[in-house]
Amino acid sequence: MNYTDNLSETPEVRRILRSKRRRYEKIIRSKTRPIQPEDTGVEAAALSLGPIEAVLFDIYGTLLISGSGEVGSTDDSPSKSNENLAFFRSLQEAGFSINVSAEECEDHAQRYYVRFIHDSHERQHREGILYPEVDIISIWYQLILALQEGGVIGGGLEMERIVEVSLLYELHSNSVWPMPGARDLLDQLRRNKIPMGIVSNAQYYTPLILETLFNESLEQLGFLPQLNSWSFSAKCAKPSLDIFAPVMDSLRKEGIPPEHCVYIGNDMLNDISTAVSLDFKTVLFAGDARSLRLRSEIQDLDGLKADAVIVHLSQIRDLLDDISIKEIVT
């Protein structure tokens, strides 16, 4: 396959994701374990949101507990520690032969990984993209090629193996599990025919992980395709407003004004500030210390407040007293 900056969206990768889905689901289940959120010490501020016709969610730190606090591929900084040898373990489990020590392999892979993400961000900055996003399969394609050329690893450059190793690395480096109350909340909103969507910094494996852990497809959970926007597909990351654009268009077509839509997220910059600028109602989810981002160091956010603050997803139900049911036909 010829290299592109968006391999995740090529026909071959889409075919692989369909044909190998059962295998990937098995890998996800074998690599995930129940984890609990950590107390934030934040008090809930449960206020009525007024009439709400649609609900949008962030994923990492909101619907999913995230051990690293966020999907790691949006960051080009080195990880704090290589103690778990995530690169080495992932490469080995994906069937690559390792020609150096585990520590050397980890060091080489980490340096290449950071460099390729940084280079991708720089290219996108030159194209005028303020908040760029990488395609993680494209990053891993470059990484595997560099490690092979450097004699660090041996093995083929088959796309199936690249997809698998990128998934393994995410699972080794970012522990995830459904947030307490998430499934019950989604079930209730679906039963009440409340249109739901997702706007999240994510990679190709994010919906796959979500569906596997919740044991249903996104549509079965109640998420409407036209109300979902993923950073890897949008080619930009939050806090860019551009990632919200397709969802805003869909809401507009259905006659749902932004002030009748609520966005729920854990980050005052990426989630709350962005949603406020689009006139959404906002709920800050402060339910896990690992992922809560108050961003108090950002002066531009001084005075910014969410319409409500919750520490458990069940509290959303108490906020939606005046909900307006508007069924969207997919």
Mean pLDDT of 230-254: 97
Q: Which residues, 6+ apart, have CB-to-CB distance to 79 below 8 Å?
A: 72, 86, 110, 173
pLDDT score for 329: 42
Strands (E) across 201-248 are located at: 223-230
Mean pLDDT of 55-65: 98
Q: Please write the tens of the pLDDT for every residue from 241-252.
A: 999 999 999 999
pLDDT > 60? residue 68? yes
Give the C-alpha separation, 13 to 157, whole Å: 13
Q: Which residues, 6+ apart, have CB-to-CB distance to 95 below 8 Å?
A: 155, 161
pLDDT band at 321; cut points 50, 70, 90: low
Q: Please write the tens of the pLDDT for every residue from 140-175.
A: 999 999 999 999 999 989 999 999 999 999 999 999
Least confident of 34-48, 112-126, 315-329: 315-329
pLDDT score for 2: 77
Report the mean per-residue pLDDT for the chain: 92
Give the C-alpha separation, 205 to 27, whole Å: 12
pLDDT score for 71: 62
pLDDT score for 171: 97
Give the C-alpha separation, 206 to 257, whole Å: 28
Ordered by where they begin, the domains of the chain are 1-31+84-173 (no CATH), 35-66+177-319 (3.40.50.1000)
pLDDT band at 70; cut points 50, 70, 90: low
Do 322 and 262 contact (CB within 8 A), yes or no? no
pLDDT > 80? residue 308? yes
Least confident of 47-56, 205-214, 244-253: 47-56
pLDDT > 90? residue 76? no
Classified as helix, coil or strand, 258 is: helix
Neighbours of 170 (CB within 10 A): 24
The H or E element that residue 153 is part of is: strand 153-154
pLDDT band at 46; cut points 50, 70, 90: confident
pLDDT band at 3; cut points 50, 70, 90: confident
Mean pLDDT of 99-109: 98
pLDDT band at 1; cut points 50, 70, 90: low
Which among 23, 13, 8 has a CA at the least distance from the CA of 212? 23
Greater pLDDT, 328 or 183: 183
Which among 195, 221, 215, 229 has a CA at the least distance from the CA of 329? 195
- What interhelical angle do 182-191 and 205-214 show, nearest 10? 90
pLDDT score for 198: 98
Give the C-alpha separation, 64 to 41, whole Å: 19
pLDDT score for 50: 86
pLDDT band at 82; cut points 50, 70, 90: low
Q: What is the DSSP letter of 267?
A: B
Tokens 């069940």: give the residue: 314
